[in-house]
Amino acid sequence: MSGQNPSEHQPQRRTDTDLLPQGTDRTEQVETLQAYEATKGQSTEDKDQETLAREFPKIDSSLIAAIYGDSGSLGATREMLQALSADEQ
């Protein structure tokens, strides 16, 4: 027993990516998700963030999304963005 590799007795570790569908299953899943996204329409959050992006074109949309996600409020996000815009000038 002294000459055996100890890793031979341990179970093989699985990673998170091992649990993802592979091959045809993966293709079908992607197609289903794309079809769902195309038909579900925009959420209020998406519409609010688009509105803010139009109002504040100089501010990166990912920053707008992060601020909106933290505040959860169109008005509060708008106020924060106005403050940021004022600081830039």
Q: What is the pLDDT of residue 51?
A: 95
DSSP 3-state percent helix, strand, coil across the chain (nearest 5) = 70, 0, 30
How would residue 16 be classed by pLDDT, with cut points 50, 70 and 90?
low
Q: Which residues of 56-67 are buried (b: 16+ CB within 10 A; e: fewer)?
A: beebeeeebbeb
48-79 tens-digit pLDDT: 999 999 999 999 999 999 999 999 999 999 99
Cα separation, 11 vs 39, in Å, equals: 44
11: enclosing H helix or E strand: none
Q: What is the pLDDT of residue 37?
A: 77
Map out the domains of the chain as residue ranges: 43-88
Give the highest mean pLDDT range of 24-28, 31-35, 80-84. 80-84
Contact criterion met (CB below 8 Å) for 21 and 37: no
- Is the pTM higher than 0.75? The answer reads no
